[in-house]
Structure 1
Amino acid sequence: MRRAEREVAGVAALAGILDRAAYATLSFLDSGAPAAVPVSFGYRVEGGIFVFYIHSAGEGHKMECLQNDPRAVLSAVGDNRIVLAEPACRSTCFYESVIASGEVEFVTAPEEKRAALDCIMHHCGGAGTYDYPEAMLERTAILRLSARSISGKSNTAEMKR
């Protein structure tokens, strides 16, 4: 990272940014070309590893791409504020972000799907556990991305201005 003073490290700090992110962008390869889609997500930390869950339709172009090549990157932006100034080159952006990479796995066990959907619901502000009808569970795909690498970056020192 070029600006080492902006690096965010540690589970709690990275989790704080993820908690403030309304959505993430999942990037993957589409026949060798880059592709990216915004996604709803949830996450857990298991043994110090960030595990991300994403729900999806069971079929479609994204799913075909990930079945062909499961490598993916997830990026999330927490707080973000642009500050315009004169001259324009003095404008800046206060931000915080997390980038995680790994390989997507397809969750098929109904109990793990339920737990993953609860995780996504909790990230969206829900609490507790939810009832998911069997038919819905069958047609909903759950993607699991265990972060092989994860990094955070922040320029929030003056965000409160």
Structure 2
Amino acid sequence: MRRKDREITDKSSIEDFISKHQIIRIGLIDNGEVYIVPVNYGYTCSNGAYTFYFHGAKAGRKYELAKSNPSVGFEIDGEYKLIISETACDCSAQYQSVIGNGILSIVNNEEECAKGLNYLMLQLTGKKNYEFSKAMLSSVAVFKLEVKTLSCKAKF
């Protein structure tokens, strides 16, 4: 990170930021081109290791790329506020973001699918312990992103 003065290293500050947002952008590689897709997410963090879960169709570009090229980048941003100045070059912004990379996989067992969907629902609704029928679980793809590196940056 170029601007070390903006780096956030406090684990609880990072956790707080991730816990209050809902959209993660996943960057996948498709024949040498970057494909970025925003998705709702849920997550878990164990001993500082983050795992993000999201869902989608069992077909399509995201699904096929997850199977063929699992190395991905990701980004979450928020707290954006434009700071206007009299001159264009003096305008600035407040923000916070998390970026990183990891390995994306498609969850294949029902128990972990339900667990991943519950993390997603907790993030979106604040409620947990949803029940999912076998039909529900078989109709959706649950994606698991195991984070290898993660950094957080802010300007307030």
* TM-score (normalised: structure 1): 0.92
What's the counterpart of residue 159 of structure 1? none
C-alpha distance in structure 1 between counterparts of 2:128 and 2:29, whole Å: 35
Answer whether contact 1:19 1:78 (CA < 8 A) is retained: no
C-alpha distance in structure 2 between counterparts of 1:10 and 1:34, whole Å: 31
Q: CA deviation at 1:81?
A: 1.1
Matched residue type, 1:89: C
**Corresponding residue SS for 1:132:** coil
Q: Which runs of 5+ in 2 are unaligned?
A: none
**Corresponding residue SS for 1:148:** strand
Deviations for 1:5-59, whole angstroms, at most 9, x for unmatched residues? 1001132121111123231111010112111011000111123201111111111
C-alpha distance in structure 2 between counterparts of 1:78 and 1:123, whole Å: 15
Kindly tell me the number of residue pairs found equivalent between the two proteins.
Answer: 156
What's the counterpart of residue 35 of structure 2? 35
Matched residue type, 1:54: F
Q: Which runs of 5+ in 1 are unaligned?
A: 157-161
Matched residue type, 1:111: E
What's the counterpart of residue 133 of structure 1? 133
What's the counterpart of residue 142 of structure 2? 142
1:80 aligned onto 2:80: yes
Q: How does 1:66-145 map to 2 (within 5 A)?
A: 66-145=66-145
C-alpha distance in structure 2 between counterparts of 1:123 and 1:133, whole Å: 20
Answer whether contact 1:22 1:78 (CA < 8 A) is retained: no
* TM-score (normalised: structure 2): 0.94
**Corresponding residue SS for 2:125:** coil
Q: CA deviation at 1:85?
A: 1.4
Matched residue type, 1:40: N
1:8 aligned onto 2:8: yes
What's the counterpart of residue 151 of structure 1? 151
C-alpha distance in structure 1 between counterparts of 2:83 and 2:125, whole Å: 29
C-alpha distance in structure 1 between counterparts of 2:50 and 2:75, whole Å: 13
Q: CA deviation at 1:133?
A: 2.1
State percent identity of aligned pairs. 28
RMSD between aligned alpha carbons? 1.2
What's the counterpart of residue 20 of structure 1? 20
